[in-house]
Structure 1
Amino acid sequence: MDHSHSAHGAHSEGGHGSFGSYTTGFVLAVILTVAAFALVMTGTLTGQSALLAIAGLAFVQIIVHLVFFLHMNTSSSQRWNLTAFAFTVLTAVIVVGGTLWVMHNVSMNMMSR
């Protein structure tokens, strides 16, 4: 019985990226990082608009990392990975949002005295 064939079959099911896709992901990540850094260093945007632009660049970079490095997509083989990721994001939003809500309420109640 040849175990190498069955072990190789299990690994080939996951979508591993090619050199080209890793290179594309790396180049996009570097461009997004340099764009955010340049935005801050040149002072092109300030205040709220700079914060929104950096948050937008960060969100795009998260998508680039998920697609090009973690190989997440909408295929049926990735369904459990997407479900686990969605649950993780939901949990993080609840924890961060709940923390901010509690801190805001504590601040408002302490400042009123």
Structure 2
Amino acid sequence: MDNSAPTCELWMPDGGNSISGEILARSLASEIAEVDGCEARFSALRPEVNGAKGTGVGEVTLWVFLSGAATTTGTVLLALIKEWAVTKRRTVRMKVRDVEVEIPAGLDDAQERIIAKLLEDGRS
């Protein structure tokens, strides 16, 4: 697997509860680890969303690496994230290159196609 740069970054808005955010990130990372051709690693903390000054803790971010060999890996990853979001009743934020999208628990088919295309383009 080429691990030079992550295919995408994932994080779950945690409302400032860093413990909850880490638990959610670890849960999602363990699910991603079960997918052939996917690897999730913890990255540095994202800055606080509201940009407040001080010693606040940012959100836990996962870097996801997809194997170039498996053409359906992105689709499988998206289905996994979608199901995880429904199960945990959470929204997952995804960044591919410079584009950020939300994967809500109620992701519809049109949104899913757009995100799948974004993942596919992000791998090339």
TM-score, scaled relative to structure 2: 0.27
TM-score, scaled relative to structure 1: 0.29
Higher helix share: 1
| Structure having greater relative contact order (Cα 8 Å, sep ≥ 6) | 2
Higher strand share: 2
